[in-house]
A and B are shown apart, each in its own frame.
Chain A
């Protein structure tokens, strides 16, 4: 029995979540090998069994078709019992395709893994669920960001094995262009010491003013969860989360933010987290140091006033 973890890299920069997936895979207590599309790079000095370095001219740019075909061939050749991914945007794009090609189910976005069971979050983190994995055949699993600590992976000298897949003409059906950023960021939330962040609970654009006043009273930056920026109520550059900025201020005050995982990955490194939310079951309270369960339209103005009073 063995485990294959698929790492993600771009120009030699390995996605940090890949190491987290390796640490999760080690929970299975089976030999863990990794696959990288491109040179072995940093993977060659990690504490894993083998590194399969998949090289092909048509794989220098990511495509779901190309990656699926190449990994299908590697998996058929080495026949692991578990194939583990990090639940990144790229993995979401091709891993379900790969698992389906084997007639298997991808158990996605798991927060805990053992040989027999995977734990997943339901309802945007409000509930957990235990899933029983099949006892035979290839088990495909992707691991949620931050569920395991990537720095727990030690050093090693794995054997590096080149793997050259054969990609038939027409395998890659899509034309992929170079990644780009929308505009240079005017706001750098990553250097802010205090962030006051607003979410769906604010209900209307006009109401954001009360949160802005709190941020001003504290001398902090205003930020938001995704739905606020989607609505165009605040610019995208103020968005915190997996598709926005990742921040780690001294204090992060989440106002009316339920705390779905996509938001949490962008802020859970904050030194102190404060949550103001009317729903005591909101997942944000799972990571909060301080919480107020209440109506933000009463709490926020009262907090602004109290802060101003303390500042004199």
Chain B
């Protein structure tokens, strides 16, 4: 089975996010990056399917030059080869723009299965996988918790709201968006890191993939949200703050 895993490099969860005044994106000067968490689970799902059923895992990542570090990490974890759609300002495009670029790269590979995370931790629009599926004319299913390969089809467990689940069978080829927690993420081994250096990492440009459609939805401004509530911050060292909070719980909230 040939599996394409689309992954995105995003600022690490612990990054402190600074926004230049009036800016439309964060100041990336001090930001470190990681593989978008749900995409890491999608990669793991792809690697496990390959281990069970044979085939190939191709990593696809659209992003700036620096995204190569995340691609190398995916190769070190066991992906066979990678395609890097190298473009500096892709985060200025919209969901349809990114989907168009990814779909063009995937079309050339003609995989049996496309996996990606259910959403990105930075823009969080949660639709790339579904947009790609529609552009490729493939069936899709989202928020997937388990994948079972059958003859010419896959049976997946989809998460619904409020603790409910559902099984769906899709004909192949198909696109799935993977939920975090579907499996245990592996670490790259030393051997894996060494091997990754010899694996194919092909760089293509957006122009080579047919270019971007016109941006329909523009991000104008990024800023810190206003607080909905006035939070009473209890100051002091841990002991002092904790004692003050216990007092509040007893005399104001009245739960002690």
Binding site for B on A (CB under 8 A): 64-65, 88-90, 92-97, 99-101, 103-109, 117-118, 120-134, 137, 173-182, 185, 193-194, 200, 218, 226-227, 229-231, 236-237, 242-246, 250-251, 271-275, 281, 283, 285-295, 298-300, 302-303, 305-307, 309-311
**Inter-chain contact A286/B229, CB cutoff 8 Å:** yes
A89 (CB) vs chain B CBs: closest residue = B161
C-alpha spacing A78/B227, complex, angstroms: 40
Question: Which of B54-62, B105-113, B136-144 binds A?
Answer: B136-144
B165 (CB) vs chain A CBs: closest residue = A180
**Inter-chain contact A294/B163, CB cutoff 8 Å:** no
Contact with A along B235-256 (1 / 0, CB 8 A): 0011101110111111001011
Q: How far is the CB of B39 from chain A (nearest CB, A)?
A: 15
**Inter-chain contact B181/A307, CB cutoff 8 Å:** no
Question: What are 28 A-B interface contacts by the 8 Å CB criterion?
Answer: A64-B130, A92-B126, A93-B158, A94-B130, A109-B126, A125-B225, A130-B219, A130-B220, A131-B219, A176-B167, A179-B165, A180-B166, A181-B164, A193-B255, A194-B255, A230-B181, A231-B181, A244-B162, A250-B255, A281-B17, A283-B225, A286-B227, A286-B228, A288-B229, A292-B234, A292-B238, A292-B245, A310-B246
C-alpha spacing A161/B231, complex, angstroms: 48
**Chain B contacts of A182 at CB under 8 A?**
163, 165
Counting chain B CB atoms within 10 Å of each CB, which of A100, A101, A121, A185 scores highest? A100
**Inter-chain contact A291/B141, CB cutoff 8 Å:** no
B125 (CB) vs chain A CBs: closest residue = A108
Binding site for A on B (CB under 8 A): 11, 13, 16-17, 19, 24, 26, 94-96, 99, 118, 121-127, 130-131, 133-135, 139-143, 158-171, 180-181, 216-225, 227-229, 231-234, 237-239, 241-243, 245-250, 253, 255-256
Q: How far is the CB of B127 from chain A (nearest CB, A)?
A: 4
**Inter-chain contact B239/A96, CB cutoff 8 Å:** no
**Inter-chain contact A128/B122, CB cutoff 8 Å:** no
Given A93-B143, A299-B242, also A105-B255 (CB < 8 A): no
C-alpha spacing A288/B118, complex, angstroms: 28
**Inter-chain contact A291/B234, CB cutoff 8 Å:** yes
**Chain A contacts of B242 at CB under 8 A?**
292, 299-300, 302-303, 305-306
**Inter-chain contact A310/B122, CB cutoff 8 Å:** no
Given A227-B180, A307-B246, also A92-B168 (CB < 8 A): no
**Inter-chain contact A174/B163, CB cutoff 8 Å:** no
**Inter-chain contact A176/B166, CB cutoff 8 Å:** yes
Q: How far is the CB of A206 from chain B (nearest CB, A)?
A: 18
C-alpha spacing A178/B160, complex, angstroms: 11
C-alpha spacing A288/B166, complex, angstroms: 35
**Inter-chain contact B255/A100, CB cutoff 8 Å:** no
**Chain A contacts of B227 at CB under 8 A?**
285-286
Counting chain B CB atoms within 10 Å of each CB, which of A127, A133, A285, A287 scores highest? A127
**Inter-chain contact B256/A290, CB cutoff 8 Å:** no
- Please pick, from A236, A251, A306, the residue contacting B255 in the complex, using a CB distance under 8 A: A251
**Inter-chain contact A128/B225, CB cutoff 8 Å:** yes
- Please pick, from A96, A129, A194, the residue contacting B222 in the complex, using a CB distance under 8 A: A129
Q: How far is the CB of A193 from chain B (nearest CB, A)?
A: 7
**Inter-chain contact B141/A290, CB cutoff 8 Å:** no
**Inter-chain contact A65/B220, CB cutoff 8 Å:** no
**Inter-chain contact B232/A289, CB cutoff 8 Å:** yes
- Please pick, from B95, B122, B229, B238, the residue contacting A122 in the complex, using a CB distance under 8 A: B122
C-alpha spacing A242/B159, complex, angstroms: 11
Counting chain B CB atoms within 10 Å of each CB, which of A65, A175, A229, A243 scores highest? A243
Top 8 A-B residue pairs of the complex, sorted by shortest distance between their CB atoms:
A230-B181, A96-B127, A298-B238, A302-B242, A306-B246, A96-B130, A303-B242, A100-B134
**Inter-chain contact B125/A109, CB cutoff 8 Å:** yes
**Chain A contacts of B238 at CB under 8 A?**
292, 294-295, 298-299, 302
C-alpha spacing A178/B157, complex, angstroms: 11
**Inter-chain contact B231/A275, CB cutoff 8 Å:** yes
C-alpha spacing A185/B204, complex, angstroms: 50
Q: How far is the CB of B215 from chain A (nearest CB, A)?
A: 9
**Chain B contacts of A95 at CB under 8 A?**
127
**Chain B contacts of A218 at CB under 8 A?**
249, 255-256
Given A106-B127, A134-B217, also A243-B163 (CB < 8 A): yes
**Chain A contacts of B118 at CB under 8 A?**
92
**Chain A contacts of B124 at CB under 8 A?**
109, 120-124
**Chain A contacts of B126 at CB under 8 A?**
92, 108-109
C-alpha spacing A302/B255, complex, angstroms: 18
Extra contacts besides A173-B170, A302-B243 (20): CB < 8 Å:
A88-B161, A106-B125, A109-B126, A121-B225, A122-B123, A123-B121, A127-B17, A129-B24, A137-B216, A173-B139, A174-B139, A180-B165, A193-B255, A243-B159, A246-B162, A286-B228, A292-B245, A299-B242, A305-B242, A310-B256
A271 (CB) vs chain B CBs: closest residue = B253
**Inter-chain contact A181/B163, CB cutoff 8 Å:** yes
**Chain A contacts of B141 at CB under 8 A?**
64, 93, 174
